[in-house]
Structure 1
Amino acid sequence: MKKPLVGAVLSVLFLGAGIAPAAASTATDQGGAEVRAKAVTFAGTVALSNCSGSVVRAPSSQPGDPALVLSNGHCLETGFPAPGQVVLNRSSTRSFTLLNAAGSGVGTLRASKIAYGTMTDTDVSLYQLTRTYAQIESSYGIKALELDTARPTQGKAITVASGYWKRTYSCAVDGFAYRLKEGAWTWKDSVRYTSACQTIGGTSGSPVIDNATGKVVAVNNTGNEDGQQCTDNNPCEVSENGTVTVRKGINYAQQTYNMVPCIGTGNQIDLNRAGCALPKP
């Protein structure tokens, strides 16, 4: 995983204590992909105590619904969920710093609960906030990022926007890993970035934004740091026929279109809704 910067369970911190956050800036085309990265800003992203995230909405979400924050399962304050474990509707008072387009913190949002969290099949967490989308927009003039309902495609120009570091990474979808295995965890149909997206510790949970639409297509979560095979912080790709491939220095994200069917009326997570394939407790 792109490890949380505080309380990492599996290993020492990836970043040295003396590294300062990068200045807020718009992304540039680092990978040769045809991108319009200047259209992607930090508006709607958040900084957690140890990770990144974003305020998100489903297409069916209403202004009066309690807002949701998207991050990684391995960023939960309760620790890394075990393989097969699902956290559902667990009380939380976690706080998030909301960023504006320039990357400045404009306010603090607070969770009422962990609506959903897991590291099985995917690496995702959804927090329900104490404030609605309408209240957030009224207070800060910031709208939530919309979750795309479509699976991203190879070659799609994307931007990873880290609220923790106030830094963006611009590249493209290089392809997909049938299975991505890291230590005890296995994730399905993971997004593989082109090499330009050199995400670092603290970028965990960042939204992966389609440059053309501005919608969230994935959530940033890991990368192979040392070239090891299938170990912690060194995920490997496993094909349908079992072939294992290691790509040192390449980073990955988990798709989010498959979460949309699980978000029901009032933004409540309903794992029994038609089309919802997220793991159940």
Structure 2
Amino acid sequence: MRKPLVGAVLSLLLIGAAAAPAVASTPQDKAAAAVTVNYAGTVALSNCSGSVVRVPGSQPNDPALVLSNGHCLETGFPGPGEVVKDRSSSRSFSLLNASGSRVATLRASKIAYATMTDTDISIYQLTKTYAQIQSQYGIAALTLNDARPVQGTAIKVVSGYWKRIYSCNVDGFAYRLKEGDWTWKDSVRYTSSCNTIGGTSGSPVIDTTTGKVVAVNNTGNEDGQRCTENNPCEVDETGKVTVRQGINYAQETYIIVPCIGAGSTIDLTRPGCTLPRP
């Protein structure tokens, strides 16, 4: 996992003195950017990044949702096989506008869903609706794509924590990505230019053609070690292990879409929902 950051670094960020400068959103090539990707709708957590997200069927008066990583939970890492659902939370999130300036503090009402089994996600339900956020702050939620990302797709990883945007492509997919005690399925592997760092955990991975979220940034192999924490390894269908030092990964988000019903409810019994159950 990209180690969550705490305390003093975030304080610097929130008063506008982050250690890493904002990086302009630039296309990878002439065909890459059909939409402008910026910070609007992203959030900074106390230790990670995230974004306000909706599914294609979300309604304006539904409670808004924030997406980040399971390993970014304020309660610590969920254990292997553990699923957190509908747990009370009052966590706060700094909402950013297009330029990366904080425009509001949003607050959770609960952890709607979180796990580090098969994937690495946390979904918080907020006390405000999508319509309230739009009308009060002029910020629209990012939309989760309902289709699996494609190899070669131009993407941007947008960190609300660092106010930094990384540009690269989907290099491929890891059948299984193993890190310490956790194993994730069908993870997105970036090309090398997305050299994400601690604090970028939970950043939305945005398809630059559609502007939709296709994954959530979560880890990278830092030291070349094999399958240890902060050094994930890829495991293929035959059990062959591959270590790619300096390469980073994300978890696909199209699998979340079938699990969100009316009123932003996480319903794990909905048709097509494959997220782990408690």
SS in 2 for 1:39: coil
Letter of the structure 1 residue corresponding to residue 235 of structure 2: V
Letter of the structure 2 residue corresponding to residue 125 of structure 1: S
Equivalent residue for 2:6? Answer: 6
CA distance in 2, matches of 1:45, 1:158: 15
Deviation at 1:200, TM superposition (A): 0.2
Letter of the structure 2 residue corresponding to residue 191 of structure 1: V
Matching of residues 229-244 of structure 1 within 5 Å: 229-244=226-241
Equivalent residue for 1:200? Answer: 197
Q: Return the TM-score normalized by structure 2.
A: 0.94
Matching of residues 70-149 of structure 1 within 5 Å: 70-149=67-146
Letter of the structure 2 residue corresponding to residue 250 of structure 1: I
CA distance in 2, matches of 1:175, 1:245: 13
> Retained in 2: the 8 A contact 1:21–1:166?
no
SS in 1 for 2:156: strand
Deviation at 1:35, TM superposition (A): 2.3
Q: Which digits, 9 at most, give the CA deviation of each residue in 1:174-198, with x for residues without a partner?
A: 0000000000000000000000000
Contiguous gaps of at least 5 residues in structure 1: 8-12, 14-18
> Retained in 2: the 8 A contact 1:27–1:38?
no
Letter of the structure 2 residue corresponding to residue 50 of structure 1: N
CA distance in 2, matches of 1:37, 1:194: 20
Equivalent residue for 2:221? Answer: 224
Deviation at 1:29, TM superposition (A): 4.6
> Retained in 1: the 8 A contact 2:53–2:66?
yes
Residue 67 and residue 172 in structure 1: after superposition, are their counterparts in 2 closer, same or farther (change >3 A)?
Answer: same
- Given the alignment, which residue of 149, 155, 168 partners 1:171? 168
CA distance in 2, matches of 1:207, 1:61: 18
User: Percent identity among equivalent residues?
Assistant: 75
Matching of residues 16-95 of structure 1 within 5 Å: 20-29=18-27, 34-36=31-33, 39-95=36-92
CA distance in 2, matches of 1:266, 1:84: 27
CA distance in 2, matches of 1:191, 1:151: 10
CA distance in 2, matches of 1:216, 1:26: 19
Deviation at 1:38, TM superposition (A): 7.2
Equivalent residue for 2:13? Answer: none
**How many pairs were matched up?**
270
> Retained in 2: the 8 A contact 1:26–1:37?
no
Deviation at 1:25, TM superposition (A): 3.5
Structure 1: which 4+ aligned runs deviate by more than 2 Å? Answer: 19-30, 32-35
Q: Cα RMSD (Å) of the superposition?
A: 1.6
Residue 196 and residue 257 in structure 1: after superposition, are their counterparts in 2 closer, same or farther (change >3 A)?
Answer: same
> Retained in 1: the 8 A contact 2:34–2:210?
no
CA distance in 2, matches of 1:62, 1:224: 39
Q: Note if 1:211 corresponds to 2:215.
A: no
Letter of the structure 2 residue corresponding to residue 252 of structure 1: Y
Q: Which digits, 9 at most, give the CA deviation of each residue in 1:70-99, with x for residues without a partner?
A: 000000001000000000000000000000
CA distance in 1, matches of 2:148, 2:154: 14
Q: Return the TM-score normalized by structure 1.
A: 0.93
